[in-house]
Amino acid sequence: MSTLSLGERVVRSAWRLAPQRTLSGVVGWGARRKLPKPVRALVLKSFAWKYEIDLAEAEWPLDQYTSLHEFFTRKLRPGARSVAAESNVVVAPSDGVVCEAGVVLAGTLLEAKGSAFTLSDLLADSELAARLEGGPYLVTYLSPRDYHRVHSPVSGKIVGWTHIPGRLFPVGSRSVARETGLFARNERFVTVIDGVAGLSVVVMVAAVGVGHITACYDPDVATHAPGFATGGVRRKSFNDPPRIGRGDELGVFNLGSTTIAVFEPRHVVLEKLAVGSAIRMGSTVGRLISSSSGVAA
């Protein structure tokens, strides 16, 4: 029997019936409209004030961003963040709040207390999921205040990516509680990295309002471009895999959502990260297991 209140069930039904992709398209269209120069700074400053955005980290002065989308997807100014220098560390792929952190058990991850989903469903790849069975994972929710570019938690080579079309439910805590297995139902973009930490994946989970996801290492990736998402799950493997350094940019949420990083077992140990705690891209969240066993170097 459902534990949701009547109001929560009504909201859930409304979101299930809503034209999510149309709504996201409208939000994305509006965010890309150029703001008139006389009001540009005022609008963006109000947005930054509402969500407590640290403007000192932004690459450009506020009046140089011509639209809300341009500001939302801003880069950091040089020196705004420092990625941990030690070669054996694993860093946070994104800003945000820790939703869950743990170990994949029986192919299952938690997205919130009492709500779970399978790694195979998340990745749309049972073989890859089997290889990551027993490995640590980290789920991070990005709010409007956060920096919305996603970076690599480890160094290595990008061997491929997978795009999985899906729903666009909101990904806040209330929506996650309403929609069981939401992260494996929403649209996802999976980057697969092979390197010092063995095999790792970084999953960018889309949500309502996400204009689209782009990949910094592959200009062909624009998940909401006409034709990109047609035909179901889409995969690409690289014959000449591009190299990625720890802390290098992987992709951009063109409006925000959630990241999920999963690591091959016996390669990485994550720190004890409390659910609800804030983390920043580039901060240390784990370490490589000693190379004495030949696992990591």
- From the candidates 24, 94, 152, 257, give the one annotated as an active-site residue: 257
Asked if 69 is an active-site residue, the reply is no
Task: Read off φ and ψ for residue 115, nearest 5 degrees.
Answer: -120, 130
Asked if 95 is an active-site residue, the reply is yes
Q: Cβ distance 260 to 93 under 8 Å?
A: no
- From the candidates 69, 125, 148, 151, give the one annotated as an active-site residue: 151
Residues 6+ apart with CB under 8 A from 287: 88, 89, 90, 268, 269, 271
- From the candidates 95, 121, 125, 146, give the one annotated as an active-site residue: 95
Cα–Cα distance, 103 to 263 (Å, whole number): 9
Asked if 212 is an active-site residue, the reply is no
Q: Where does residue 43 rank: exposed (0-12), middle (13-18), buried (19+ CB within 10 A)?
A: middle
Strand (E) positions, the chain? 89-91, 96-103, 108-112, 115-118, 136-141, 149-151, 156-164, 188-195, 198-205, 213-215, 218-222, 234-237, 243-244, 249-253, 258-263, 268-270, 278-279, 284-288
Positions annotated as catalytic residues are 95, 151, 257
